[in-house]
């Protein structure tokens, strides 16, 4: 049975590293940093976390599987709860586990825009 890919959550949600090496970069932001990222990030956003979840991390495998499930789901059907689960799998537990709701909300706006563009 072939799964139909309906959208690319890796790219749209900026899940860095996932497509390249099977790793996932934490999508959390360093709120205490006064620096801004100049590489692919708008200047008004804080610097993104540098923590990588390696291939051997069980959360990385679970995130990859969940991303594949989301890719086969119409963007209009992706819920905030889905995105909170994904954020929980992608965020580093050391520094950014408390940003799950913020990341899910940011991603939800992106997914809603993608769903509107697909109509």
- Can you tell me the mean pLDDT for 5-28? 77
Residue 90, token pair as written in the block? 């992608």
Phi and psi for 48 in degrees, rounded to 5? Answer: -80, 150
Domain range summary for the chain, segments of one domain joined by +: 9-118
Quick: pLDDT tens for 31-53: 665 443 333 444 444 556 766 66
pLDDT score for 109: 95
Using one digit for the tens of pLDDT, what is the confidence trace for 97-108? 899 999 999 999
Decide if pLDDT at 78 tops 70. yes
At residue 30, φ and ψ (nearest 5 deg) are -80, 95
pTM here? 0.79
For the residues 79-91, what does the mean pLDDT come to? 94
């Amino acid at each position: 049975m072939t799964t139909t890919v309906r959208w690319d959550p890796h790219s749209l949600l900026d899940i860095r590293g996932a497509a390249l090496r099977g790793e996932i970069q934490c999508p959390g932001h360093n709120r205490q940093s006064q620096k801004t990222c100049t590489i692919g990030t708008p200047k008004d956003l804080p610097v993104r976390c540098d923590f990588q979840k390696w291939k051997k991390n069980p959360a990385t495998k679970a995130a990859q599987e969940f991303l594949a499930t989301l890719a086969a789901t119409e963007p209009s059907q992706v819920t905030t709860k889905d995105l909170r689960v994904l954020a929980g799998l992608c965020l580093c537990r050391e520094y950014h586990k408390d940003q799950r709701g913020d990341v899910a909300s940011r991603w939800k706006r992106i997914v809603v825009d993608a769903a509107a563009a697909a109509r």
